[in-house]
Amino acid sequence: MSRFFKYRTQPEPSIELSEQDNVRSLHLGGSMIQSAMKLSAPNDLELAYTRYMMGFLLFHPDPKKILMIGLGGGSLAKFIFHNLPQTTIIAIEVNAQIITVAYNHFLLPDNPRLQVITAEGGEYLANYTEQTDILMVDGFDDGCQVASLCQQDFYDLAYKVLTKNGVLVINLLSQDKGRRNYLQRIENSFDGHVVSMLSEVRGNQIVFAFKRNPGKLAWKALKNQAKELEKIYCLPFSEFVAKLRKYNSRNNNFLET
């Protein structure tokens, strides 16, 4: 691992960049990779969990607005910006230095359709007076979900800011000791209309929570939709459907929440 950029600000952890095998990675206070970009394909999603978070397109294929809490290197923001041209994006990041790194080292677009705001995610959501089709939450502190982003009040706010067919998308670490509590809180806020899947064993757990019960979704229809989405986005949606079936199979014919 060849590290070429490092500085420390208080109270935030040090920010480090590394490059290996044509991939540039972002680290916060340790070796764990927070964000990654393939230099030869900077707008692709390098990390598996980011690809899995785009699984929301199976349920909401044409979002007009996406609100993101947690920017990192901006991988998801860039992918959405370049692949969903009708979608406006607001990205909330608490650490201003990370925003600078995303623009300077990860090719984050400077464009009015992608607005980046320096703020604490929970506070921003509490004062957010509009609604969004998709709310994506990807915020960690020392390997655990940021405390303010996994409280019952936060998930209640998430429900409130979503449009009637809106979807909350959350990245959790499967080994986070508080994960079961977070999932219970999400189910409480969303009346149990929640599904999830692991991107990899002992890796990230991606959660989808629905403002409105999507009803019974036939696995066959989801598979067909996945094939169509794969043609558009070059992401493994068929794999997403298989994982959803593995981790949420209550019925052989339907996905139910």
Catalytically active residues, by annotation: 138
All residues at 6 or more sequence positions from 85 whose CB lies less than 8 Å from its CB, including other chains: none
Three-state DSSP string of the chain: CEEEEEECCCCCCCEEEEEECCEEEEEECCCCEEEEEECCECCCCCCHHHHHHHHHHHCCCCCCEEEEECCCCCHHHHHHHHHCCCCEEEEEECCHHHHHHHHHHCCCCCECCEEEEECCHHHHHHCCCCCEEEEEECCEECCEECHHHCCHHHHHHHHHHEEEEEEEEEEEECCCCCHHHHHHHHHHHCCCCEEEEECCCCCEEEEEEECCCCCCEEHHHHHHHHHHHHHHHCCCHHHHHHHHHHHHCCCCCEECC
Establish how many alpha carbons lie within 13 A of residue 19's alpha carbon, considering only the half-sphere containing its beta carbon.
8
Asked whether 84 and 47 are in contact (CB, 8 A), the reply is no
